[in-house]
Chain A
C-alpha cells in the first residue's frame, strides 16, 4: 500500500489522570499532524510541551486517550505498522550485558530480520557509526557518545522507511554531534522519512525541511523551515480570517502563526504574500499590516511561545 504520509495523526490526545486525586494533566491535546513521506521533520517545543508523549503515542508505548495515529496508512496500534520504523529513544537504556554486535543482533531480530541478513548488516552498521572495532565489547564500556551512535545503528539496522529520533544528540559532544548529523545527512535522497524530536533549534534548522512547534501539548505552529525563516520574506498580519482560508494559505507554502490579534503569515516570496492577501480579503478577513521580514528558527520559536503566553 502506498501512501502520501509517513505519519498522520488526527485529534490525538493524551490525558494523564493521577490515581488517587483524579487530577487531569493534558500532555497532548487534539493534535493533528501530517508528515509527508521522505521529508526531514523536526518537532520542537519547550520541556513538558508533550513532544515525547506524542512520539510514544506514535510508537504505541503510550495509549492515546482519544484520536488516532497512522504510520504509512496503518493504525499505529497494529504491530505491523511499526515494522518500517527505526526508533532511538531519549534516555535509552540498552542492556549493558550485551556487546555492540549482540545488541544490534537482538534488536534486529525483534524487527523481524533473519539471521543471515543480520550477520551481513551488523558489520556494515558498526562501520557506518564508526564502531567497527567495538563490536565485541560489552556496552558498559561504551561512552555516552558511542552508545548514542550505536543506538542510531540500532534504529537503522533493518533499513527503516521512517526514522524517529528523540533528542538524538543529547549529551553528545560537538564532534559526536557532527558525526550523527553526517550519518543522517547520508540518508538524504534515500526516501527515508526522518522525524526528529529535539530542543536544539540550530540543529533542526540546519537539518529539517519541515517543523512543528508544540506548546502545552497543542500544535502552535507547523510549516516549511524555509518559509518560517525566510531571509527576505514578507510578514502579513491579519485578523478575522476563517480557518478554511488559513488552510488554503498553508497549501501555498506560507506559514501561519498565531498572533495576539489574529494571525501572522510568513510568506517566502512576493507572489506568495500577494496570493495570501487575496485569500484573506476574499474570505472577509482584514489586513492589519504587511512588512518585509527575516528571522531565524529561534526567533520563530520564541515568538510562537510568547504568543501563547500572551494569549
Chain B
C-alpha cells in the first residue's frame, strides 16, 4: 500500500512537472494543430471530390470499394499520426529524466524509503502516462472526424493508440538510459531520433542485402536490424493491420523491440543504482 502510494506520487509528480514546463500543453496544442489540419483537409475541394467520387455520401458505388478506400485512408492517416506522435513524445519527454537528477533534488528523493528502481520506474511510467493521454486525444479525435465525414467507423484504426504508446515506451527506455548516464536532454533526443531513422534504413534490408557484396557486411546489417527497435516495421505492420491484412507479421517487431527496451531499461536501472549523487 505504502509502495503504491509512493509510485502514484511519482507518476503524479511527472504529470505536474510536464504541465508546469508547458510540455503537456505543448503536446496538446501541437496535437490540436494536427487535428485542425485534418479538419481543414477534409473540407477542401480535392478531398470533397474524392469522397463524392467514391460515393461515400451516396449509394451508387459498391460498399466493398468504399470501405477499401476508407480503410486505406485510415491506414495512411495512422502512419502520419504514429510518426508525428512518436517524434513529439520523444522531444517532450527528454527533459523529464535529467530534471529529476539535479543535485539537491535527487539526494532528497534518494533519502526516502524507496528503491532506486522504483524511483526511476515512477518517472518512466509518469512519462508514458503523459504521452498516452496525448496519443488517445490525438488518435481518437482524428478517428471521430473521419467517422463523421465518411460514416465509416473503423475500430482497427484505434490500434494506432497502443502501437504508438508501445514504440514510445521502447524509445523512452533509451531516453532514460542516456538521461541517467549523461543528464543531457538534448543527447537523449538525438539518440532516440537517430534510432528512429536508423530503424527506417535498416528495415530496407531486403533491398540492401542484395546490394552488399560481402557476407560479413550482410550479417552485420541483419544483426543491427535485429537489435535496433523496429520503429519502421511496427508502423508498417500497423498500417497492414488496419487494412485487415491477416498475413502481416506484427509479433516479431513487437517482441524484438520489447526485448531491446527491456535490456536498455535494465541497463538504465543498473547505471542509476551505481551512480553517486
Contacts and interface: CB of A to CB of B under 8 A. Distances in A.
A171 B23 CA distance: 33
Contact of B277 (A56, A87, A92, A112): A56
Given A97-B19, A114-B5, A107 B112 contact: yes
Nearest to B13: A106
A79 interface: yes
B108 A109 contact: no
Contacts of A92: 104-105, 108
A292 interface: no
A16 B10 CA distance: 30
Interface string A71-103: 000000001111101010111111111100010
Interface stretch (A59-67, A126-134, A225-233): A59-67
A293 interface: no
A110 interface: yes
Contacts of A294: none
B223 interface: no
A89 B113 contact: no
B115 A79 contact: yes
B110 A59 contact: yes
Nearest to B122: A110
Contacts of B219: none
A111 interface: yes
A263 B172 CA distance: 59
Interface of A: 16, 56, 59-63, 79-83, 85, 87, 89-98, 102, 106-107, 109-115, 154, 164
Contacts of A62: 276-277
Nearest to A138: B20
A150 B108 CA distance: 14
Nearest to A87: B111
Nearest to A82: B113
B61 interface: no
Contacts of A96: 20
A80 B277 CA distance: 20
Contact of B109 (A85, A110, A164): A110
B5 A109 contact: yes
Interface in B143-164: none
Contacts of A111: 112-113
B110 A60 contact: yes
B6 interface: yes
Given A82-B113, A110-B114, A111-B112, A59 B107 contact: yes
B191 to A, nearest CB: 20
Contact of B274 (A63, A93, A94, A102): A63
A164 B114 CA distance: 17
Interface in B82-109: 102-109
Contacts of B21: 97
- From A56, A61, A89, residue with most partner B Cβ within 10 Å: A61
B17 interface: yes
A89 B110 CA distance: 11
A257 B142 CA distance: 76
A85 B111 contact: yes
A56 B107 contact: yes
Most buried by B among A89, A98, A164: A89
A163 B198 CA distance: 51
B113 A83 contact: yes
B246 interface: no
Nearest to A93: B104
14 contacts: A59-B110, A62-B277, A79-B114, A89-B107, A92-B105, A95-B20, A97-B17, A97-B19, A97-B20, A106-B12, A106-B13, A107-B112, A110-B6, A110-B10
B103 A91 contact: yes
Given A63-B276, A110-B9, A112-B5, 12 more contacts: A59-B111, A61-B110, A79-B115, A81-B113, A92-B105, A94-B105, A97-B17, A107-B108, A109-B5, A110-B109, A110-B112, A113-B5
Contacts of B9: 106, 109-110
Contact of A112 (B13, B16, B113, B274): B113
A79 B113 CA distance: 4
Nearest to B106: A61
B99 to A, nearest CB: 9
Nearest to A57: B276
B8 interface: yes
A21 B16 CA distance: 41
B2 interface: yes
B270 to A, nearest CB: 13
A130 B98 CA distance: 33
Nearest to B12: A106
A24 B163 CA distance: 48
A83 B13 CA distance: 20
B111 A61 contact: yes
B19 to A, nearest CB: 7
